[in-house]
């Protein structure tokens, strides 16, 4: 791989500082609109008399819509360009999020969650594709990790937003959980409009780069090894059928599925898990929301530390394995430690779970040809995110079946998540790919 000069490094740093903060904000809003349900459930489930099974299905059905519309959305983004399509879907999901405050029963709950998943489906795979337009493979893992640090930041921000929403319960006759959906949905609409004016599709459209910088960046991307694989015109017309026949794509989809089972099972039940810790059962929902910020901070740390290490060494697989091992240790600790130490175990697990994402997506990009990347990345993300349906459902089911035991009300569920992390490590260590 071509050695990057000091001047090129400065250029990539400029690109990072101009693009990634804005993309980070967009993804924070996206993920916040996805997980606000975990905080709303502290009040909503009791008010609407939703059982664990109803909540689990509603939390998970988001990912059915997400899976079904992932690839079609990425086909559209190739035709319209990131700027116009991202703007459209952000406005759409912002409206759906606000509409969540109108939920009265399980049916409307399911419909709106499914619709939210469908409208958000194209955002993340579109962003993964978008970052390939700006960063060569060597810097891609860190770029993805910095972008995806929005996930824990959304969890952190969501903790404080939820705490404030619960405090204004009753304002204008609306419950706190309804305010939570409103104040997280409106920013998506506003930022969706802003995207039309602030997000360039490609380097040659960036007004903040001069002609020399545009040329340098395009040459750097062309010489990285990715562009050389797209010279065959026929290959550029890869179909969805070709993607489905690609065993590498299926391998990574399964690996990501295992990861998201653990990730979303953990994320969407976290406030309710914390609520069961000893005296926490008697604390306010606002305090539980604030305590949820601690694992969120560890998520951000895990993503950035593991991704930086992976990019520095150029190694991907064993970073995924190491992150999964940390996850297992943290979840087991959270199961068996005393109540006053369980949060430490959850925080360690959060570090490991989200530490996998940077090296995983860098590994995935390195394994797919450029023609295969748009549909391949969308397929892996869509199928993989079905774990977001399975994870919350399994947590709710196991909690219902096992009840309370020595490991706590969620003890069996946490051990199940630990087993999925073991499976993730197995898949990663047995995946044979060529790192670029």
**Residue 3 counted as domain residue:** no
Q: Which of 238, 288, 265, 245 is nearest to 396 (CA)?
A: 265
**Residue 2 counted as domain residue:** no
Residue 225: what pLDDT?
54
Note down pLDDT in tens along the chain; length 436 residues. 556 778 888 898 899 998 999 999 999 999 888 888 988 888 899 899 998 889 889 988 998 888 888 778 877 887 888 888 899 999 999 999 999 999 999 999 999 999 999 999 888 878 888 888 898 877 877 787 788 778 778 877 888 888 888 888 878 888 989 999 999 999 999 999 999 999 998 888 889 999 999 999 888 888 765 544 444 444 444 456 666 777 888 888 999 999 999 998 898 888 888 888 755 445 677 788 888 889 988 988 998 899 889 888 888 889 999 999 999 999 999 988 887 888 999 999 999 998 998 889 888 877 776 666 667 777 887 788 888 888 888 888 887 777 654 456 678 888 889 999 999 999 888 876 654 4
Residue 92: what pLDDT?
95
**Residue 411 counted as domain residue:** yes
123's CB contacts (< 8 A; 6+ apart) are 26, 27, 30, 86, 89, 90, 93
Interatomic CA distance for residues 150 and 196, integer angstroms: 21
Residue 224: what pLDDT?
65
Number of domains making up the chain: 1
**Residue 246 counted as domain residue:** yes
**Residue 332 counted as domain residue:** yes
**Residue 322 counted as domain residue:** yes
Whether the Cβ atoms of residue 387 and residue 264 lie closer than 8 Å to each other: yes
Give the structural domain span for 278: 14-227+238-429
Helix, strand, or coil here: 368? coil
**C-alpha dist (Å) from residue 85 to 68, 79, 237:** 17, 9, 21
79's CB contacts (< 8 A; 6+ apart) are none
> Structure pTM?
0.74
Residue 230: what pLDDT?
44
> What is residue 236's DSSP assignment?
G
CATH of residue 410's domain is 1.20.1250.20
**Residue 232 counted as domain residue:** no
- Angle between helix axes 411-429 and 247-275 (nearest 10 degrees) is 160
**Residue 113 counted as domain residue:** yes
Residue 286: what pLDDT?
79
Interatomic CA distance for residues 364 and 320, integer angstroms: 12
């Amino acid at each position: 791989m071509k050695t990057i000069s000091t001047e090129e490094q400065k250029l990539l740093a400029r690109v990072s500082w101009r693009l990634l903060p804005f993309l980070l904000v967009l993804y924070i809003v996206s993920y916040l609109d996805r997980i606000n349900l975990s905080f709303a459930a502290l009040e909503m489930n009791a008010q609407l008399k939703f059982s664990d099974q109803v909540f689990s299905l509603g939390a998970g059905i988001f990912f059915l819509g997400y899976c079904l519309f992932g690839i079609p959305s990425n086909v559209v983004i190739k035709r319209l360009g990131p700027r116009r399509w991202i703007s459209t879907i952000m406005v759409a999901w912002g409206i759906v999020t606000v509409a969540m405050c109108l939920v009265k029963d399980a049916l409307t709950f399911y419909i709106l969650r499914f619709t939210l998943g469908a409208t958000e489906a194209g955002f993340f795979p579109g962003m993964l594709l978008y970052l390939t337009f700006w960063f060569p493979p060597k810097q891609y893992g860190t770029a993805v990790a910095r972008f995806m640090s929005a996930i824990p930041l959304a969890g952190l921000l969501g903790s404080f937003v939820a705490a404030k929403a619960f405090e204004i319960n009753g304002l204008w006759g609306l419950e706190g959980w309804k305010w939570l959906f409103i104040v997280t949905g409106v920013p998506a609409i506003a930022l969706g409009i802003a995207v039309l004016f602030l997000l360039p599709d490609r380097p040659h459209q960036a007004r903040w780069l001069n002609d020399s910088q545009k040329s340098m960046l395009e040459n750097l991307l062309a010489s990285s090894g990715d562009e050389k694989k797209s010279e065959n015109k026929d290959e550029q017309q890869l179909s969805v059928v070709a993607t489905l026949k690609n065993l590498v794509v299926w391998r990574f989809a399964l690996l990501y599925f295992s990861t998201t089972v653990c990730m979303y099972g953990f994320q969407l039940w976290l406030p309710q898990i914390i609520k069961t810790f000893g005296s926490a059962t008697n604390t306010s929902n606002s305090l539980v929301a604030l305590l949820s910020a601690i694992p969120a901070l560890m998520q951000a740390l895990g993503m950035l530390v593991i991704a930086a290490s992976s990019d520095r060494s150029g190694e991907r697989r064993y970073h995924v394995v190491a992150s999964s091992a940390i996850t297992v240790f943290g979840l087991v600790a959270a199961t068996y430690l005393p109540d006053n130490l369980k949060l430490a175990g959850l925080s360690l697990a959060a570090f490991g779970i989200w530490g996998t994402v940077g090296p995983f997506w860098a590994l995935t990009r390195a394994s797919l040809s450029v023609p295969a990347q748009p549909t391949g990345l969308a397929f892996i993300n869509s199928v993989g995110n079905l774990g977001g349906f399975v994870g919350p459902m399994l947590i709710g089911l196991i909690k219902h079946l096992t009840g309370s035991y020595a490991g706590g009300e969620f003890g069996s569920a946490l051990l199940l998540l630990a087993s999925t992390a073991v499976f993730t490590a197995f898949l990663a260590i047995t995946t044979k790919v060529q790192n670029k």
